Amino acid sequence: MHSVISAALDAICVERDDQQYSVSFDTAEAVVTEFGEPDLANILFSEIPRTVPFELVAELFDLLTWQTNDNGGSIHRTIETWLREGTDNRKLLIALHLDVYPFTNGDEMEQVLSHLAETNARVSSRCKELIHSRRKPGHAG
- Beta-carbon count within 10 A of 13 CB: 13
* Domain-embedded: residue 27: yes
CA dihedral over 129, 64, 85, 2, signed as positive or negative? negative
Q: What is the pLDDT of residue 58?
A: 97
> Whole-prediction pTM value?
0.92
Per 3-state DSSP, the chain is made up of helix, strand and coil in percentages (nearest 5) of 70, 0, 30
- The pLDDT of residue 137: 61
**Half-sphere exposure at residue 140, Cβ-oriented, CA atoms within 13 angstroms:** 1
H-only helix segments in 16-120:
23-35, 40-47, 54-65, 73-85, 89-96, 106-119
127 occurs within a structural domain: no
Q: Is 108 helix (H, G, I), strand (E, B) or coil?
A: helix
**113 is a domain residue:** no
Range of the domain at 62: 3-100
Q: d(Cα 44, Cα 41) in Å, to the nearest integer? A: 5
Query: Does residue 63 belong to any structural domain of this protein?
Result: yes
141 residues of the chain, pLDDT tens digit each: 999 999 999 999 999 888 788 999 999 999 999 999 999 999 999 999 999 999 999 999 999 999 999 999 999 999 999 999 999 999 999 999 999 999 999 999 999 999 999 999 999 999 999 999 987 665 555
Q: How many domains does the chain have?
A: 1
Residue 109 within a domain: no
At residue 17, the pLDDT reads 84
pLDDT at 139: 53
Within a domain: 122: no
In a domain, 136, yes or no: no
Does residue 82 form part of some domain?
A: yes
Residue 20 confidence (pLDDT): 85
